[in-house]
A and B are shown apart, each in its own frame.
Chain A
Amino acid sequence: MSMSANEIENMIKEAIPDSIVVIEDLRGDGDHYSAHVKSELFNGKSKIQQHQMVYKALKGKMGQELHALALKTSSDL
């Protein structure tokens, strides 16, 4: 069971509405992605908190259906 890039993007945007999300399917296998998420909501938050916000947006799928998501976050839009 894997996730499509669209599903990932939609879930992140639903939880972090102002976010700009760029997803890359690293191996073209629908299982190894990278995501760059930019949002002003990350302002003043630590990297750990920023990543936790994205993981929470994915509602427990990270590490389950979603095997590998290399994550990069930034607060400047």
Chain B
Amino acid sequence: MSNIDEGVQSRIEKEINSNDVVLFMKGTPVFPQCGFSSMVSQALSHIGVEFKGIDVLAEPTLRDGIKSFSDWPTIPQLYYKGEFIGGCDIVKEMYENGELKALFAK
């Protein structure tokens, strides 16, 4: 975790600890600005999971911050109960094989 601003880090921790499902994405759930963010947002909606979408395009420090925080180079990033679940590819795979639905049933 290199040169991540403390303010950004505590902001991220606060978000993922105070909301069960958090999606760091480009754009908003209603107006996603990127195909990958849109895909994850739709998968969540499709299985009826409520989530908080956080638009990293609106906050450039958060865009870099979440990449360092998760040690993950791309957006979107999905968190559930404070735990990093994955990016677009992993969420897509979990959606297709039913693991995503099972995860939220826990």
Interface residues of chain A, those whose CB is within 8 Å of chain B, are 47-48, 51-52, 55, 60, 62-63, 68, 70-72
Whether B93 pairs with A55 at a CB distance below 8 angstroms is no
- Chain A residues positioned under 8 Å from B84 (CB to CB): 48
Interface of chain B: mostly helix, strand, loop or mixed? mixed
Whether B73 pairs with A47 at a CB distance below 8 angstroms is no
Expressed in whole angstroms, the Cα–Cα distance for A53 and B73 within the complex equals: 12
The count of chain B contact residues (Cβ–Cβ below 8 Å) is: 14
Please provide the chain B residues from 2 to 58 with a CB less than 8 Å away from any CB of chain A in the complex.
36
- Chain A residues positioned under 8 Å from B71 (CB to CB): 52
- Chain A residues positioned under 8 Å from B72 (CB to CB): 48, 51-52, 55
Q: B86 is contacted by which of A48, A55, A70 (Cβ under 8 Å)? A: A48
Whether B74 pairs with A62 at a CB distance below 8 angstroms is yes
Other A-B contacts than A48-B85, A70-B88, A72-B93, 6 sampled, CB-CB below 8 A, are A47-B86, A51-B86, A51-B90, A52-B71, A70-B89, A72-B89
Expressed in whole angstroms, the Cα–Cα distance for A68 and B39 within the complex equals: 14
- Chain B residues positioned under 8 Å from A55 (CB to CB): 72-73
Whether B89 pairs with A51 at a CB distance below 8 angstroms is yes
